[in-house]
Amino acid sequence: MKWLNAIERKIGRHYIPNLMKYLVLAMAGVFILEYLPLPRSAYQFLMFDRAAVLRGEIWRVITFIFLPPNASLFWIIFSLYFYYFLGSSLESQWGSARFNIYYLFGIIGNVIAGFITGYATNEYLNLSLLLGFAALFPNMEFMLFFFLPVKVKWIGLVDGLFLIYQLIMVPWPNKIALVASMLPFILFFGRDAWLMIRMEYRRIRRWFAMRR
């Protein structure tokens, strides 16, 4: 992609190596802060809030990406490890500059959506990492529930169907945030993903046709 190569040349060395490591550490830190007797919730202080940003709390246009998923201690450890694995794998494949660009597009999309709707989240942005991973490594196997081997492309397909379901069911602010979060995946993989879906659909049709 010529436009992507051009952006990489523009940023030169101005990128953050091991970006996902710092994001995951920040999420873990915020999760811990929520359990401390602070006068104000870390979530409330860091979340995107359009009215607060317009009042001068400009840190919120970036700190919302540090919010961890609301979860139990066990689930947060699993989630953050999974995010780190996905992000570091993409960075290893692309290089730090390109991975920074991928995540930055998601942030920019969410901030724009946030100013339009008042709502921005990193939830869908982190889910887009799974879609990107599935597009790059479709035949890698994960051990689902620690014992069932499943190829990543099928997990990515389920993730994509879940996002489509969310797009239909959630309120309009969430819809816009979801589409904004998928901006990097669409820009990086939109055409390839569509071709892969068509190929898998034809393969499944042939499989059923042979068993009639």
CATH code (residue 162): 1.20.1540.10
Domain of residue 151, residue span:
2-210
φ/ψ of residue 36, rounded to 5: -95, 150
Confidence of residue 159 (pLDDT cuts 50, 70, 90): confident
Q: Tally the domains of the chain.
A: 1
**Which residues have a Cβ under 8 Å from the Cβ of 114 and sit 6 or more positions away?**
48, 50, 53, 61, 64, 120, 177
The answer to whether 177 and 122 are in contact (CB under 8 A) is no
As a whole number, the mean pLDDT across the chain is 84
- Would you state the pLDDT for residue 78? 86
Q: Which long-range contacts (CB under 8 A, 24 or more apart) does 156-162 make?
A: 156/130, 156/131, 157/197, 157/200, 159/127, 159/130, 159/131, 159/134, 160/131
Provide the pLDDT for residue 147.
66
Res 99 pLDDT > 90: yes
Residue 87 banded pLDDT, cuts 50, 70, 90: very high
pLDDT greater at residue 193 or residue 34 = 34
Q: Is the pLDDT of residue 94 over 80?
A: yes
